[in-house]
Structure 1
Amino acid sequence: MSPSILVDDADPARFYTVGFHWSTTTNSDSFFNRTVTVCHTEYRNTSTVPKLEFNFYGSDLHFYGPPVTNDIFVNYTIDKSSVRPANLNKNANSALKTGVNIWNLSGLDQQYHSVDIFPVNGLFSFDYFTYTPNRLSPLVGRNLLLDDNDPLLQYSSEWTKTNADTLQGAVVAHQNTLSGTNRTGSTLKFNFVGAAVSVYGALNQQAGRLSASFSVDNGTPTSFSPFDGTQTPNPSSWKPNERFFHQDLTPGNHTLLVTLQDASGSQMLWLDSVVYEGSSGTKLNSTTTSTGGGTTTTGTSSSSSKPFNSATIGGIIAAVVVLAVMGFCFRFWRRFARNFHSTGGDSHQYGNTTFVPPRAPTPQLAPVIYMVSSPRHPAPAPPPPPPMPHNPWSYEQQVYPAMPVSHPSGQPHISRQEPTFWQPSSTTPRQPDISPPVNSPAPHSQDLDGNLNNSAPRRSQDAGPADLPPAYEPRLYIP
């Protein structure tokens, strides 16, 4: 059995209402978490239609609250379909009860649904509603409700299951069942994965004392003693939906233990439901079991494990062989494609030798002429750069080329032409200084044959144009 997700009317983060017709009352006895929400349809001086909207993944939606009287009418839509009347549970026998099942919406598929509820007349009230989750339903932070008859709750042998209608007085219970015991030492154990846990039950004002303890993970027990024996007995007085215990926990695996400490007279401990908050490890149809080596998680499943037979083993072997052959073919194709692209697709392979057809001869380029200078024929000096324009208003440096200096022909010399920088003044610009040529003969030089010569250094000169290569003759090239 899967737990139901519970949405309390005091948790507006899970649903929202439209219109000022809605109001929530706190500190109301016999209601879940002591709150109940009412829609006042008698407020009609507004164009806003009261509405309650709720979206969820799951099925089987159930609303609980005060009994529905004959003057209450509600319409609804499911998944934005047409408006239709809600078939409310109007039971005269539950007129004195609280927290009854007032409306059900069953037969939904396991998908996403959107429900809009439109109260039309009367005081429509609800306490909480539940829905059955599926694998798409988020569980983190949700309140998961287990009825007292859920098999995940492990009772000792002293507990009895009772239909609430058979009890004296107007008592209501979730799914109309209660589990009770009056045997001291009776226990209830619940293993779960979550972040909080609460225990709810019903109190009957009988004569005698009632005391129970609650602990989580073998921690310090919390005592709950609603009756000490001084109360006035009234067997018809019931308080349903009473929270006996609550504790916030670190998300993870936990174990709840409930123990009856004392039940004298006619008192009994009546449990109705257990609610725990889901965490990241919470799963549907799952619980935790304690073993000698620690705590492990187990779950129910519709399919059982079966041993492998010969057909299964043969199929696995065949699949492995097919995959191996496919892998070999793929590697062979990769190698062939790589060799094909590496040779450009133009070569032909014979055995281990690759023959590449000869390429056409490279066309002869124009001859390159190298200029060699000699001391007899000095190389012409490059033309001087054009003079830069003069701007008397500019403060940038002006660069003037050096003026050429005449010298006897045939005499080796070395001229250094250095630019002269001129800073403009407020008056007429000054002519640039002309640096005389500087002749700095080297102490010795080396001729073309590699012999030392102490004479003045010789300047290299142009050797003239080089001989042109012979004309191209195709017969001179061997293909």
Structure 2
Amino acid sequence: MDPANPHVFLDSTSPEIVYSGACTVASVDANNTVGGSQHVCVPTSAVDIKFYGKGLEVFGELDTSLDLKSLLDESTYTPLPSENNGTASGTKGVKLFDLGALSNPHDVHLEPRAGQLFIDYVIYTPVGKTKLDGKVLVYDDTNPALNFSGAWVARSLFASGGNGGGEEERVRALPFNDTLMSAGSGGSSFSLGFVGSTVAVYGAFNASAGVLSASFSVDGSSPSTVTFLNRTSTSSLPEEWTLHQALFEHTFPDTDAKAEHVLNVTVVEASEAQPFLLDYILTTANSHTALKERQFKKTGSEAKKTGLRIGLIILGIAGVFLAWFVWRRWRERRRKAKGGGTLEGITPVKLKRRG
């Protein structure tokens, strides 16, 4: 499949996630969670997720005392090794379970044997037989389907120290996929083409002072400017980032349109201290939403080598046809020589007429 395809996105409240036993909804301390809440499961409880796809991942608040039992299709399963070494307990948005690249329909069963299992959201990669209609799809800021223009900077590795100036080392929650795209001035833009019924843009704010605004347009409509922040002072807690903030939401009048929609976003006001931070985009699939097939395009020396191989193959085929044609002409001439005319050294017999 094309890497530009989105993931299926399940909030912790999705009916596709089935909770049993002592699982509750926690919203008291749920800042920086999707939708403002997360589910909390303790020993004697369980979580089941049935899906058709691959690469299922579970994200939530990290409890370093968590001992998690996992089953895949009723068989004991050992997930991929955790990358959370050094991440503080209580950090939100941490990957807690990774199924890996296993594909097709599966049932994932999770049971906390000690500690607490916090579930904020789940993602998985759809495959050709995944039914997309009605599902929420997520495009991370690193997805190649997004077209960026202007001075954008990728910011990543928040969990392990970051590369954006130091404040990432103290964040108490991680952005989606541990990445953000940052624009520190007005004029930078991005666009996304998709088929679906809704679209929403999510970003983050840091604790610094500053003005932050952007304009949004869908399908060529007049841009609408939204001001998100007009902060005059910096917070005394620089680690207090605000994540999962809905910057723009839109529902299309024709929710089952077949045509591709185009979202255009332009940063109007931003600064290095308070940049525009894009985290992810959510769309809702309709009956016409389909996955893209990978397109292989070769360039440079690789394309030249491929062209040379194709040329040699064509030349070889042409040589075979030429040899066959010459052989056929020779065979035809030989046949005619044997079947007609007077051959040298042979006198034809004259037949006598009776009577």
TM-score range, shorter chain: 0.7 to 0.9
Q: Among 50, 53, 57, which residue is 1:62 paired with?
A: 57
Of 172-181 and 216-225, more deviation after overlay is shown by 216-225
Which structure dedicates a bigger proportion of its chain to helix?
Answer: 2
Q: Distance in 1 between matches of 2:85 and 2:115?
A: 16
Alignment partner of 1:29 is 2:62: no
1:450 is matched with which residue?
Answer: none
Q: Among 237, 242, 249, which residue is 1:239 paired with?
A: 242
Q: Among 280, 283, 291, which residue is 1:284 paired with?
A: 291
Indicate if the aligned counterparts of 2:184 and 2:272 stay in contact, CA closer than 8 A.
no
TM-score, structure 2 length as denominator?
A: 0.73
Of 246-255 and 60-69, more deviation after overlay is shown by 246-255
User: Which ranges in structure 1 are unaligned for 5 or more consecutive residues?
Assistant: 42-48, 286-298, 312-479
Alignment partner of 1:166 is 2:163: yes
Indicate if the aligned counterparts of 2:63 and 2:115 stay in contact, CA closer than 8 A.
no
User: Which ranges in structure 2 are unaligned for 5 or more consecutive residues?
Assistant: 299-309, 318-355
1:400 is matched with which residue?
Answer: none
Q: Distance in 1 between matches of 2:215 and 2:48?
A: 40
Q: Distance in 2 between matches of 1:180 and 1:83?
A: 38
Q: Distance in 1 between matches of 2:226 and 2:27?
A: 23
- Secondary structure at the aligned position of 1:194 is classed as coil
Residue 140 of structure 2 aligns to which amino acid in structure 1? D
2:220 is matched with which residue?
Answer: 218
Give 1:255-274 correspondences, 5 Å limit.
255-264=262-271, 266-274=273-281
What's the CA shift for 1:213?
Answer: 1.9
The answer to which structure, 1 or 2, has the higher relative contact order (CA under 8 A, 6+ apart) is 2
Q: Distance in 1 between matches of 2:269 and 2:296?
A: 42
Indicate if the aligned counterparts of 1:211 and 1:261 stay in contact, CA closer than 8 A.
yes
Q: Distance in 2 between matches of 1:37 and 1:205?
A: 27
Residue 247 of structure 1 aligns to which amino acid in structure 2? H
- Secondary structure at the aligned position of 2:273 is classed as coil
Indicate if the aligned counterparts of 2:195 and 2:261 stay in contact, CA closer than 8 A.
yes
1:179 is matched with which residue?
Answer: 181
Of 74-83 and 253-262, more deviation after overlay is shown by 74-83
Give 1:368-379 correspondences, 5 Å limit.
none
Of 23-32 and 148-157, more deviation after overlay is shown by 23-32
Q: Distance in 2 between matches of 1:112 and 1:254?
A: 30
Q: Distance in 2 between matches of 1:284 and 1:10?
A: 25
Q: Among 30, 50, 72, which residue is 1:78 paired with?
A: 72
- Secondary structure at the aligned position of 2:286 is classed as coil
- Secondary structure at the aligned position of 1:236 is classed as coil
Q: Distance in 1 between matches of 2:128 and 2:244?
A: 29
Give 1:39-438 correspondences, 5 Å limit.
39-41=41-43, 49-70=44-65, 72-82=66-76, 90-95=84-89, 97-108=91-102, 110-163=103-156, 164=158, 165-167=162-164, 168=167, 169-170=170-171, 172-234=174-236, 235-249=238-252, 250=254, 251-252=256-257, 253-264=260-271, 266-285=273-292, 300-302=294-296
1:420 is matched with which residue?
Answer: none
1:3–1:266 CA distance, 2 compared to 1 (3 A): same
What's the CA shift for 1:220?
Answer: 4.7
Q: Distance in 1 between matches of 2:48 and 2:263?
A: 35
Of 125-134 and 95-104, more deviation after overlay is shown by 95-104
Q: Distance in 1 between matches of 2:145 and 2:23?
A: 37
Q: Distance in 2 between matches of 1:138 and 1:182?
A: 39
1:54–1:96 CA distance, 2 compared to 1 (3 A): closer
Q: Distance in 2 between matches of 1:116 and 1:106?
A: 15
Indicate if the aligned counterparts of 2:79 and 2:97 stay in contact, CA closer than 8 A.
no
| Stretches (4+) displaced over 6 A | 83-86
Q: Distance in 2 between matches of 1:23 and 1:205?
A: 31
Q: Distance in 1 between matches of 2:222 and 2:24?
A: 39
Alignment partner of 1:7 is 2:10: yes
What's the CA shift for 1:17?
Answer: 1.4
Q: Distance in 1 between matches of 2:40 and 2:81?
A: 18
Indicate if the aligned counterparts of 1:190 and 1:255 stay in contact, CA closer than 8 A.
yes
What's the CA shift for 1:91?
Answer: 3.1
1:180–1:85 CA distance, 2 compared to 1 (3 A): closer
- Secondary structure at the aligned position of 2:144 is classed as coil
Residue 54 of structure 2 aligns to which amino acid in structure 1? S
Report the number of matched residues.
290
Deviation string, structure 1 residues 428-454 (Cα, Å, up to 9, x no partner): xxxxxxxxxxxxxxxxxxxxxxxxxxx
